[in-house]
A and B are shown apart, each in its own frame.
Chain A
């Protein structure tokens, strides 16, 4: 990773409103996930283990995150790349000694870091909302942490895909459209068999759900198909690295 490229990327991010975009995402996800905690009908369930209040809350989080994350990631990636298309940034960087692939890697690092931070804050706030509402059942810390970690990883993979797409196709409506379709797919995949969720990276927002339906019709812990998810995610990371090298070697910009 080129330190100059990262330092420059941070300077460009300054007024790009990355933090406000992420803040809106976090607030919206926390609000939507925890809305029904504060309804009167839930009040009695908060201290009843068989009502599974934490599991209900986590499942809400899974659904809302699947709905919003693909769009937020697409918006961030396309904004951060579009400034290069609009401002002749690829050529400027080239004549200053930085290839387009180096810029893309720096963007992945900077956006990946803030996105991961946002997911951690978001997940903590959803749990905090549960405590605030007065859930008295024991907190399933392991399951919660595992989901948060895998959500952050899926975000990174989808981020890499969108950075590549935004760099290749200078019309940013394409990337944003893909993000929207991705959100539909992610939600749809929650209701479909596991292989549907595993087929496309956007479905992984559903595939990482640590909860499924148990034999009694209630929520039961399930183990996501890590055997498929981990190699899949690794492959995307490798492909992104290869694509960045190709950007650096090609003539002119990546589009």
Chain B
């Protein structure tokens, strides 16, 4: 599998604070890559480095098979559409005038611009001023500016930020359809829900470090679901000093892998605690995610 984006030890420090720490990203071609992390974990900073808007302190970046630095910026920018932090748009101009500004800067054709507008389905709002746009319309205009050059790669920073569920669904369908056309889409979010059903590959960032990268299934495998022990006498088990809390039907224990589970059962039996059953809870992806990011939450 070839990668559209690879980074080696990508690091950014501001003063003495390391905000992005040794990232080794692998974004496969033609996929939707969900780039997840809590607020302040370094998603935007990473994306800015990929677009050479911010200079890395250390590390290498390769995009579309080319090293990224100030010299290759002009070669690469025609192939990369991007949306960073907030969607761009001059409020005093109409959607059409905004697209004309972008068209002139990129040297795009009328056909490319018309197609970009059509893809985001903004056609009927093009003569409205952008200051009168809804948030969803602004996001779509931002995506249209990113698409106006027939990009091979889209780097979108929280494109669903502030949208209602219908708006999120719409963007999701749009990005999936773009990936179907062969465009690689890297999309960030601090909410797992938002990217869960569009991304086939996930990268999870926590405090500037990549704590997971792989498919959704691999993410499930990575985290050990909590253990539930059914027992009518949970107090006796707690008296043994187990790291457990009261759970449905008995006890709940976190972080017990298979070997630890076997040990636990042996210990309970040895102390004659009646064990009626031992099972694992079914985890939601959200919980898996919380596990990885250290339960600091995602929002």
Contact = CB atoms under 8 A, between A and B. Distances in A.
A192 to B, nearest CB: 40
A89 B84 CA distance: 11
Contacts of A8: 101, 104-105
A7 interface: yes
A96 B106 contact: yes
B105 A93 contact: yes
B88 A89 contact: yes
A72 B74 CA distance: 37
A15 B51 contact: no
Interface of A: 4, 7-8, 11-12, 14-16, 83, 86-89, 91-98, 251-252
Contact of A15 (B54, B86, B93): B93
Q: Which of A4, A12, A83, A95 has the most CB of B within 10 A?
A: A95
B90 A83 contact: yes
B80 interface: yes
B90 A12 contact: yes
B90 A96 contact: no
Interface in B10-41: none
A92 B84 CA distance: 9
Contacts of A12: 90, 93, 101
The majority secondary structure among interface residues of chain A is helix
A252 B44 CA distance: 12
A96 B97 contact: no
A7 B104 CA distance: 8
B105 A88 contact: no
A251 B130 CA distance: 27
Nearest to A98: B105
Contacts of B54: 251-252
Nearest to B77: A97
A86 B73 CA distance: 25
Interface of B: 48, 51, 53-55, 73-74, 77, 80, 82, 84-93, 97, 100-102, 104-107, 130, 145
Contact of A4 (B89, B105, B130): B105
A89 B91 CA distance: 11
B86 A88 contact: yes
Given A7-B104, A14-B97, A95-B84, 17 more contacts: A8-B104, A11-B100, A12-B90, A12-B93, A15-B92, A83-B92, A87-B89, A88-B84, A89-B90, A91-B84, A91-B85, A92-B102, A95-B53, A95-B77, A97-B73, A251-B54, A252-B53
Contacts of A89: 88, 90
A255 to B, nearest CB: 14
B187 to A, nearest CB: 16
User: Which 7 A-B pairs rank lowest in CB-CB distance, beginning with the nearest?
Assistant: A96-B105, A92-B88, A88-B88, A87-B90, A15-B92, A251-B54, A8-B104
A94 B53 contact: yes
A11 B97 contact: yes
A7 B87 CA distance: 22
B125 to A, nearest CB: 17
Contact of A252 (B48, B73, B88, B105): B48
B88 to A, nearest CB: 4
Contacts of A98: 105
A88 B92 CA distance: 13
A87 B141 CA distance: 12
B109 to A, nearest CB: 15
Contacts of A96: 77, 102, 105-106
Given A95-B82, A96-B77, A88 B100 contact: no
29 contacts: A8-B101, A8-B105, A11-B101, A11-B104, A12-B90, A83-B91, A86-B90, A86-B91, A87-B88, A87-B89, A88-B86, A88-B88, A89-B88, A91-B84, A91-B88, A92-B88, A92-B145, A93-B105, A94-B53, A95-B80, A96-B102, A97-B73, A97-B74, A97-B77, A97-B105, A251-B53, A252-B48, A252-B53, A252-B54
Contacts of B101: 8, 11-12
A87 B91 contact: yes
A7 B51 CA distance: 25
Contacts of A15: 92-93, 97
Given A8-B101, A83-B92, A95 B51 contact: yes
Contact of B89 (A14, A88, A94, A97): A88
